[in-house]
């Protein structure tokens, strides 16, 4: 069989983070328009809490 050298897969981390940011912005704008700035603040605090819990769990297992 012919030996082929494998190339590394491209790193799409930056592109994924930018797309997550763009999606969060438009979701926040829709929530702001529908329910007001208070709902956006609560949603942001909730997401911050989830990210902090995820970070804490990953540090415990890692």
pLDDT of residue 1: 61
Q: Is residue 42 part of a domain?
A: yes
pTM given for the model: 0.73
Q: Is residue 37 part of a domain?
A: yes
Q: Is residue 25 part of a domain?
A: no
Look over the chain and give the mean of its residue pLDDT values, rounded to a whole number. Answer: 93
Residues in Cβ contact with 40 at an 8 Å cutoff, skipping those fewer than 6 apart: 28, 31, 32
Along the 62 residues of the chain, how does pLDDT read in single tens digits? Answer: 677 788 888 999 999 999 999 999 999 999 999 999 999 999 999 999 999 999 999 999 87
- For residue 40, the enclosing domain spans 31-62
> Dihedral, CA atoms, 47, 50, 52, 56, nearest 10 degrees?
-170
Residue 31 near residue 39 (C-beta atoms within 8 A): yes
Q: Is residue 22 part of a domain?
A: no
Q: Is residue 58 part of a domain?
A: yes
Q: Is residue 24 part of a domain?
A: no
Length of the chain measured in residues: 62
For the chain, the domain total comes to 1
Residues in Cβ contact with 32 at an 8 Å cutoff, skipping those fewer than 6 apart: 39, 40
């Amino acid at each position: 069989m012919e030996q082929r050298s494998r190339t590394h897969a491209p790193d799409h981390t930056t592109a994924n983070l930018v797309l997550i940011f763009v999606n969060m912005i438009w979701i926040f704008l829709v929530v702001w328009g529908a329910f007001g700035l208070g709902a956006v603040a609560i949603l942001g605090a909730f997401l911050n809490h989830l990210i902090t819990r995820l970070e804490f769990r990953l540090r415990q297992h890692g």
